[in-house]
Amino acid sequence: METGILYREELKEYDFGAGHPFRGDRYRLFYQFLLDKLPEDNNYRIIEADPADEQDLLLIHAKDYIDFTREFYGAADISTDYIERFYMFHSMDNMPSSVPRKLEEVARLIIGQAKTACNLVQNGEYKKVISIGGGLHHAKKAHGEGFCLYNDVAFCALYLMREFALDRILILDTDAHAGNGTAEYFYREPKVLFIDIHQDPHTLYPGTGFIPQIGEDEGEGFTVNIPMPVGAGDDAYRLVFDSIVSPIAREFQPQLIIRNGGSDPHRYDDLTNLGLTVEGFRMIGERVKGLSAMCEGRVIDMIASGYNRKVLPYAWLALTCGLMGINMQIEEPEYMPQKDISVSAYAKTEEVIGKVKETLRKYWQCFR
């Protein structure tokens, strides 16, 4: 069995409450859709992980941040004192609309899934492990934002370096939003090649991920930002893989690939303005599978984002099937009025690619 999928029913508690864009029912919705469309059988195995412990969290976050986050999200009621302190550690988008109950506990579970994924892949039990609920890439060492409490993407890379002495890890972030938290962890780290494909930060939160942000000190040249123009669709993403992602990955020769990102680059997502179709997500999964041939097939994949419930299960399944090499038909979800997208998005993507190559050419032979 090549693929393990990490899932527990408790993931539904990663929920910021009514009216918030990030609801926990997404996980059960996808899990049922997955079982209906692609039974477990010999395709994959569902695995349950244990939550992370305090030492695991201290690998990526400051103790005072962990302590406050545990206390705030575990409180029976949210007092004025808590609210005043909240903004020392979290941004407004992490404020729940009601008493959050088990949200922080599930955030620990997601870090536990990341740890389990690392161990399963590195110990040879599975070539590929998919963490449902993973990819909380906005969380920083002492600050939570963007619906993210603890950064499991960063945890994976740091844990793999510490426990398995890996020194060439590729993180590929395909979420529509730039992975600002993950970027901060590895901005000076040459052991991690961080490639981030996201919507132009002039037009979308968090307003980082510009081409000139390439890393510093020993990590200079190891952060690759690819800001996609509004409306960029399947062909534009395919061009980015052909022109940037594949060449630089081949030169880097990763020992393992970590990919994170859900359905929010889809053209019908409620919070973003990109143009991927369901087939575009399958293509991303297939490209990651192809790249993984350089590292004996080893991939940790993390899927959580997406803000259109009708789209989410189809796009997540397409990512999963692409990564597993399963060629099954996945239709687009029922028709929804298409947003206005730029007809020049492909040409603008070509311009972005040219600027990325020019910016990074002195660091990478493939761009010379």
Mean pLDDT, range 136-153, rounded to an integer: 98
Closest to 260 in 3D by CA, of 280, 239, 285, 278 = 285
Tell me the domains of the chain and their CATH numbers.
Answer: 3-367 (3.40.800.20)
What is the rounded distance in angstroms from the CA atom of residue 57 to the CA atom of residue 225?
Answer: 27
Cα(196)–Cα(182) distance, integer angstroms: 10
Average pLDDT, the chain: 95
What does the pLDDT look like over 306-336, one tens digit per residue? Answer: 999 999 999 999 999 999 999 999 999 876 5
What is the SS3 assignment for 256? strand
Q: For residue range 159-209, what is the model confidence (pLDDT) as tens digits?
A: 999 999 999 999 999 999 999 999 999 999 999 999 999 999 999 999 999
Is a pLDDT exceeding 60 seen at residue 342? no
Question: Is the per-residue pLDDT at 252 higher than 80?
Answer: yes
**Contact by Cβ (8 Å): 208, 196:** no
Which pLDDT value is given to residue 83?
78
pLDDT for the residue numbered 10: 97
Q: Name the active-site residue from 138, 143, 177, 198.
A: 138
Chain segment 99-108, per-residue pLDDT in tens:
777 999 999 9
Candidate ranges 72-76, 85-89, 159-163; pick with highest mean pLDDT:
159-163
Residue length of the chain: 368
Asked if pLDDT for residue 341 goes beyond 60, the answer is no
Among 27, 47, 167, 51, CA closest to 107: 51
* Residue 67 neighbours by CB distance under 10 Å: 13
Rounded Cα gap, residues 61 and 41, in angstroms: 38
Read off the pLDDT band of 11 (50, 70, 90): very high
Other Cβ atoms within 10 Å of 325 Cβ, number: 13
Alpha-carbon distance of 290 to 240, in angstroms, equals 15
Query: Looking at residue 97, what is its pLDDT?
Result: 84
The band of 343, judged by pLDDT with boundaries at 50, 70 and 90, is: low
CB 210 within 8 A of CB 201: yes
Is residue 138 part of the annotated active site? The answer reads: yes
